Chain A
Amino acid sequence: MTAKKKELNFSEAFKELEEITSWFDSEEQLDLDAGLKKFERGLELAEDLKKKLAEVENKVEEIKEKFSQ
């Protein structure tokens, strides 16, 4: 697995997890090898997502700009 240690993009990761899950529903006969690989990836994503959910808070930044005129 390529170790992309950049910031996890939550919506991309969640989408990938959803796609993997729907793959499991997409065929009558699952390829067991592919299934195991996807399952592993899915668990990894779920772990990352949960971690991200636990750790982050919201940041508020004020915009300096004056808007009138």
Chain B
Amino acid sequence: MALQALSVGEFLELVNHTLKQIPSNEVIIEGEVSDYRVAQGKWVSFDLKDEEAEAVLKCFMTTWQLKAPIEDGMRVQLKGYPKIYERFGTFKMNVTEVSAVGEGALRQSYELLKKKLQSEGLFDQTRKRALPRFPERIGLVTSRDAAAYGDFLQILNNRWGGVRVMHAHVHVQGREAVADIVGAFRYFNDLPESERPDALVLTRGGGGLEDLHAFNDEAVARAVYASQIPVVCAVGHERDESLADFVADVRASTPSNAAERIVPSRQDVLYEIGTLTDHMESRLHDTLQEHGFLVERMTNVIGFILERQKERLARVQDGILTRVEGWLPRLREHLEGSERFLRQIDPKRVLARGYSLVLSGGSVVRDATVLEVGGEITVQFAAGSADARVSRIHGKGQQKLV
């Protein structure tokens, strides 16, 4: 029977078809990474080596399929499908998933991712947001089966009340954990602003690197980073750390500590309210006292002013008196002089010397011509007077006084 010849292409197609019979999804291959390279920031290639069998598997994948960073010497497990590239005749493993194995490799992977996120600024202190002092709604992202859930709520209830805890039940380990946690963050952040929690708490108990893988996952770290709601992260015991811790706004050491960080304690707040009211009261009391002092001082000042005014009045009075005393004798002298003068010109003194005064109709007569014969005149003497009648008038012209 003559065999039919296949072209190279047809043959390789047959081989590739045969390779597809391998149930790739159920096969996990483990080995050590070497010759790890990234080309054009997109294409990842490395050799997966088997130390004992000296076997090498050429691997190929894209950077976005690479969830956790790997490097040479790291032990990894991977899934993928094998294929022969017709153009180059090379056999390669198209890797779909790769993850580090063993504590050492996980540690290595963790450190690599930590360095990467750090250099991107995901841990920057400057972007840490403050938590609201009295949160009303808290989004709790943890498993309801975890001890962390009970611990958190117990401390929360001990310390504070009136909070609505919106619990998103997620797996905190295992294969679904990452998608659950990322989904919960998306859920809370997608809520309308009025329904959004004031803060999110992402927590679980402690564990090894393998248990904490979801909290060290890049997607979770980025979800925490992207959250518009401030995040408190608390993983396990005091000394456990996770990448989510570093990205979170507040890193709490334990689930209980997360509750302490997120709500104040009743006692502290009661004490503070007491301090505030006491302070108001004492300031008000001081003010009242100040007002009292002020009134007292005002009274004193007014008294003082009155006293001074009284003194001034007395001084003015004294001044007036001394001045009056100065000019009073002079006034008296002047008055006496005037009196003397007046006395000298007194007509009565002329009469006393023997002269008489003739009056007609009440007026002094200075000229004889104003008189009429038969008219009545009064002659005034120094003592007494006499009425008389004019019998003759002697000529005009001035009488020559002898």
Contacts and interface: CB of A to CB of B under 8 A. Distances in A.
Given A58-B163, A68-B179, A50 B169 contact: no
A24 B279 contact: yes
Contact of B168 (A43, A55, A63): A63
B157 A58 contact: yes
Majority SS of interface residues in chain A? helix
B134 interface: yes
Given A42-B277, A67-B180, A24 B167 contact: no
Contacts of A66: 183
Given A11-B133, A68-B176, A58 B273 contact: no
Interface in B118-166: 132-134, 136, 140, 144, 153, 156-157, 160-166
B265 to A, nearest CB: 10
Given A50-B270, A68-B180, A61 B168 contact: no
Interface size class, chain A: 35 or more
Contacts of B165: 58-61
B183 A25 contact: no
A50 B273 contact: yes
Interface of B: 132-134, 136, 140, 144, 153, 156-157, 160-170, 176, 179-184, 186-187, 266, 269-270, 273-274, 276-277, 279-281, 283-284, 287-288, 290-291
21 contacts: A10-B134, A10-B136, A11-B132, A18-B276, A24-B283, A36-B284, A43-B277, A46-B277, A55-B161, A58-B156, A58-B164, A59-B163, A59-B165, A60-B165, A61-B164, A63-B166, A63-B167, A63-B169, A67-B168, A68-B179, A69-B183
